[in-house]
Chain A
Amino acid sequence: MSTSPPIRIVLAKVGLDGHDRGVKVVARGLRDAGFHVIYSGLWQTPEAVIRMVADEDADFLGISLLSGAHLTLIPRIMELLRQANLEHVGVFVGGIIPESDVPRLLEMGVRRVFGPGTTIPETVEFIRQQPRSHLAPA
């Protein structure tokens, strides 16, 4: 067990998307990698997710989307994060995202898009390599 404070990750399902097998597998994998994972449950609004990220003092927000609504929901979430002074939170997206949409999501500030076939170690490695600027008290 490392002595550094555990990384806190909110995993969220947003909008009308009822499939959460994938996000549950990711949640389990990230837990086993030593992270603290908070799962939102299905059918969350962007507003509720932002409130969750704020109240939980999360370092990362992972959004699982299989509904095809990513170009509607992700811009909304990124905008709400900015409004809530939560720019330090690293956002990653997983699920069914067409290749051609990935650059647009990255432009909006999403740090990484994980498609089908992504392994848990890949996700863990990505999170470990991200900077965690905000945790030290001083």
Chain B
Amino acid sequence: MTAWERFADSFLNARVAAEYLPKIVDGFRLTVVLALLIVVSGLAAGLLLALVRSLGVRPLNWLIIFVVDLFRALPPLVVIVLLFFGLPAAGMQLSGFASTWLALSLVLMAFAEEIFWAGITSVPKGQWEAARSTGLTFVQTLRFVVLPQAIRLTIPPLTNRTIAITKGTALASVVAVQEILGAAHAGVSFSFNPTPLTLGALAYLVLFIPVVVFGRWVETRFAWRR
């Protein structure tokens, strides 16, 4: 056997691949579902917090800033572990899937709030005043004047951050979720062959390379003129 054949036999073993591919495909589905749920709930919660913050209620804003800072400072894995291993002590048991979803949603919420808020404050005060002077309500001004300008500005950083956080779905393997990495890692232990990990890595590339390329495109498409 040449070195390459030996390498291929362990890392790209056809028999092992055939055996574990269905598991990886299942993991792939789970990863996609988890990622989509995180994106939806994280972005929605972030936008909601930014909107509440724009009301300008002092104590409420301090609370929002604290929560945002908290989830920007904590490593996502620490939050996941805390939810999964810590909550049972309070008599609450979240599944690994739910823990990961909640933790990463909170993290994305924090980053998204920060970005949305920066976008909102970047719209000059004159825009608010002009809109309100024509009789638009607070909500109408936000909806038709401020948000459209703010969102355009926030899309590139938001896209990159969202991509980075959804990649965190791999952390779910730590709390025994059979998403791609979990399924792949389990496959290695059962088969004593690293091919499932190769498949897993390929699955992530299939999933995220288009996303990364999309992020690159968004960055140039919405590039700020410096």
A binds B: no
